[in-house]
Amino acid sequence: MNLATSTGTPAAGSEWPVVKLQFGAADARILEDQRVYDGHFKMHRLTVQHRLFGGGWSEPLSREIFERGDAVGVLPWDPVSDDLIMLEQYRVGVRRDEDSPWMLELVAGVVEDGESDAEVARREAQEEAALSISELEPVARYYPSAGACTEQVRLFIGRTQRPEQGGVYGNADEGEDIRVHILPRAEVMDYLTSGFINNGHTLIALQWLALHGDELRGRWT
């Protein structure tokens, strides 16, 4: 078995582990690509094949794939006061939740054509929380639902200055109604361990901050 092939690109400052993925991009092929929905988001029906671990190729597989573009998330943090700025907003996809379809989240937005990740992070922080981001620390990049969606998410911790108070913000043209909370980092970590945080982007950023926050605070202060 050949473990010398890897896919993707490691995050800045990191290296791939010793074990590599067996197959790469050339080991999967698209036989047919049909766009079946073209609205605000897009849906494609693909016929694909890929190599098998036991040798040979799979039978042609039909898969629908959702395309919504890539996204950037930033967790705003004032390292001096050690406060996190977090957002509360309604999420229609959580209508199945018995408690509440409102979530406590970080700042996030879709990457528009020609935008850098830093530009998205700073634009969304201003629109959703009236915050200015002075520095960005990369956290992770990942595919939240790779079996059904092409979206890649890039996450950051964003250095900001704690506002005097929260408020309600958001882009009215996009139907946003966002309540801003200013919370001590220790309190938010309690939310993390209790299971109160139920948004994937926010979970990952907070878990990273739990591991690296003290070191990052030392650098930023």
Of 98, 164, 174, 215, the active-site residue reads 174
**Long-range contacts, 31-35 (Cβ 8 Å, 24+):** 31/60
Cα-trace Rg, the chain: 20
3-state DSSP assignment of residue 77: strand
Distance between start and end Cα atoms, the chain: 49
Q: Is 174 noted as a catalytic residue in this protein? A: yes
H helices present in the chain, as ranges: 117-129, 185-194, 200-220
- Contact predicate 86/157, CB 8 Å: no
> Catalytic residue positions?
174
